[in-house]
Structure formats: C-alpha cells, structure tokens
Structure 1
Amino acid sequence: MRNYTLSLLTIVALGQTLYAGGDIAPITTPVIEEPTAIEESSPFYIGLGIGRATLQDEITDEEMRSNTLTLQAGYQYNQYIALEGRYAFGFDTQYSVGNTNNQESDYDGDLSSWGIYLKPTYPIGDLNIYALLGYGGAMLDNLVSGDAYEDSFQWGAGMSYEIVDNLSIFVDYISLYDSKGFDYRAKNDDINANIWTLGVTYRF
C-alpha cells in the first residue's frame, strides 16, 4: 500500500512539472541588422582659387603685382598628410616704381608661378590647419629683355573649412622666392615673391 501511494505521488509530481513546463515562452530567433556600408571619399581632390601675387625688390622698393587664377590638384594620403600641385596664372599686372625714377604704369606681362608641395595637416573638426613645403618656380614674362624665371624651395601655411561633404573653402599664403637677383634682373638686390590665395576644393 505504501509503495502504491509513493508511486501515485510521483506520477502527480511529474504531471505538475510537465504542466508547468507549458508556460515556458517559445524560443525566437533574434533579427540581426546588417550594418549600412559607409561610402568613403576618394583621396583625389581638385581646387580653384583667386588671389594676388607680388614680386618686390627690397633695395629699390620696385614691385610687380598680379591678380592670379590658381588651379589645384592633390592626393590626400590620410587626414594628416597630402601631396599637392598648383599653377597660378597672373593677369592685370601692375608695376610700382618704388624709389626709382621710372614711370609707374600697367605692365604688359604677368607674374605666374607653379609648385609641388608636401601638405602636413592638423584637423580640428571641420577646420584644417596646414603647411605647404615644396619646390616651384616664378616667372615674369614679356620683359624688355625677355622672360625672367627662378625656381627654388617654397613654403607656406593656410587653413580650410569643410562647408558641406567633400567641398571646402581655403585661404593660404606661399613664399615663392626669396634670394638675391631674379634671373638676369637686379642681380645684387634682395628679391622676394609671394602669393595669397582664396579658393574652393572639391574631393571626389
């Protein structure tokens, strides 16, 4: 009788356990969302700028001033370094006589320049502060005795700001030349040339 009672209690307990198991929620498969692919910008960029180039004789204070149109192209290795090339076309050039007895007048030729630069950059959000270090040349054309040209180390600095994705505005200064003489002109005088540029850059 005792064995029968124990067996009955065991069956009842198992039945309650099985019934309780019916309250367990069914296993559902979690939905895994695939990450959205982020389209990266190309490292190549181009730009266009306007500015002012100046070549000055520090002894006589004579000065050539040209408005400039600058073409820019570069490759951004990463956010800290780029390689960049530029060519600036001069136009509407004026001549200032300084302390000479020459006549001040418009100049028929132009002051143009080119350069290839290493461009180290320090980013601060959408603002980039950068330096330009490289080699290039400057030319005064259509002089009485022919064109005058010099090439040398060039350096500069500037900043850019991204106004929308892949489109930035920039402003910078480059020292184009700083030495004695300019080709066959003013061989014993200290000559310097520089350019200021304001422009836009588009990254592909």
Structure 2
Amino acid sequence: MNKKLPLAFAILALSCTVTANASKESNLYLGAQYSAQELTLLPNRDFQTAGIIAGYQYNQFFSLEARFNTGISGYSSHPFSENGFSDAEYKEDIDSQASLFLKASYPMFYSFNIYALAGMTQSKYEITTISSFTDIEGITTDTYPSLIKLSESGFSYGLGLNYQMTNSFIVFVDYKILPDLMGSSWKSASFGASYSF
C-alpha cells in the first residue's frame, strides 16, 4: 500500500501537468477593458472609453498587444449668452483610440505579475458646437452646427498589475501616458480582463 501511494501521486501530478499544457495550446488572448482618461490642462475633462484587447504572448515575459477603444462619455456645456436669446451647446468626445504595445511582464508572488507597456497610440478627438438663435417670441431662427476633428498619435507607455485567476483568465489594472493633445498631457487608467485560448 505504501508503494502504491507515491505512484498514485506521481500519476495524478503527471495528468495535471498534461492537462495544463493541453489547455495552453495557443498563445493568443482576447479581452475587454474600461478606461478613465484625463486631459490635464483642460479642467473637468474626465473622459471614459471602453474597448477590446487582442494579444499574442511569446513567452512568460513578453507579449504583443493591440487595444481598440471608443468613447462612451465626454464633456459638454451650455455657454450663456449675454442677451439671453441664444442656446448654444459645446461637446468634446473621444471618437476612437488604437494602441499597439510591447508588453514586458515579471512574476511577483502568488499569481500576480507586474508589467510595463511601451508602444504607439492614435487618438481621434471631436469638438462639436451647436448654436441656435431664438427671437423674442421664442421662435428659433437659425442653427449653426460645427464639428472639429483632431487626431494625435505618438509614443505611449505605462505600468500595470495583473492577477491570474485561472490558467486562462486574467484581470488587470494599468496606468498609461498617452500622446499630448493641444499641449495638454493625456493620462489613462484602465482595468479589464483577458482570456487566453
């Protein structure tokens, strides 16, 4: 009986190793993320984006990762007219963002990894103004819509921490510096999850 017990443990350990390796046949992973973003020189500009992640893990330490986001919350205001007869609306929104990162990970303790991101990001940004002028009788006479589209691309980088919940499922949080827009520094904090196939 004592000789069969170590043999049973050896077979069990071998079967677990084979199962773990079989479940990790591919190095591809997909995920989703949410980001809170801020343009520091513009007050009250707290933007939100959501998007998807696609990546390829070369080994335990290096991955290539693409992120695609769209804006889900922007900034808006209603400027006041001196004569009180105009109704203007001003909006700022992130239209889209695309990033390509080289991701370098380092295991820390338990199932936690710290990682660094470095790569390129392109952000598309929209400013919309709508001006409506109303006469004394309350009749709108003219509406003047205007749309300005801005785009900025360049080097971006950041740091993050992930936790491997299972062999395939990871949750993460990271902080990134994006290319400046109109002289204002652009910062982003994200959290999300990914699943490897």
Q: Pairwise mapping of residues 137-152 of structure 1 onto structure 2 (< 5 A)?
A: 137-143=122-128, 144-152=146-154
Which of the residues 162, 185, 191 maps onto 1:198?
191
Count residues with an aligned counterpart. 156
Q: Which digits, 9 at most, give the CA deviation of each residue in 1:140-186, with x for residues without a partner?
A: 124445211110100011011011221111001111113xx63xxxx
Contact 1:110 1:142 (8 Å CA) reproduced:
no
- After the TM superposition, list the runs of 4 or more consecutive aligned residues in structure 1 that deviate by more than 4 angstroms: none
Q: Pairwise mapping of residues 22-101 of structure 1 onto structure 2 (< 5 A)?
A: 36=15, 37=18, 38-41=21-24, 42-57=26-41, 61-95=42-76
1: CA distance between counterparts of 2:160 and 2:94? 24
With normalisation by structure 2, the TM-score equals 0.69
Partner AA of 2:74 in structure 1: T
Contact 2:76 2:92 (8 Å CA) reproduced:
no
- Higher CA-based Rg: 1
Contact 1:152 1:177 (8 Å CA) reproduced:
yes
Contact 1:141 1:148 (8 Å CA) reproduced:
yes
Q: Which runs of 5+ in 1 are unaligned?
A: 1-32, 97-104, 183-189
Aligned to 2:112: 127
Q: Which digits, 9 at most, give the CA deviation of each residue in 1:21-74, with x for residues without a partner?
A: xxxxxxxxxxxx7x54341512000110112122232xxx44532221121010
Contact 1:93 1:111 (8 Å CA) reproduced:
no
Q: Which digits, 9 at most, give the CA deviation of each residue in 1:67-98, with x for residues without a partner?
A: 211210100000100000001211221258xx
Kindly report the root-mean-square deviation, in angstroms, between the aligned alpha carbons of the 2 structures: 2.9
Aligned to 2:6: none
Partner AA of 2:22 in structure 1: E
**Range with bigger deviation, 105-114 or 162-171:** 105-114
Which structure has greater strand proportion?
2
Q: Which runs of 5+ in 2 are unaligned?
A: 1-10, 78-88, 129-145
Which of the residues 175, 192, 196 maps onto 2:177?
175
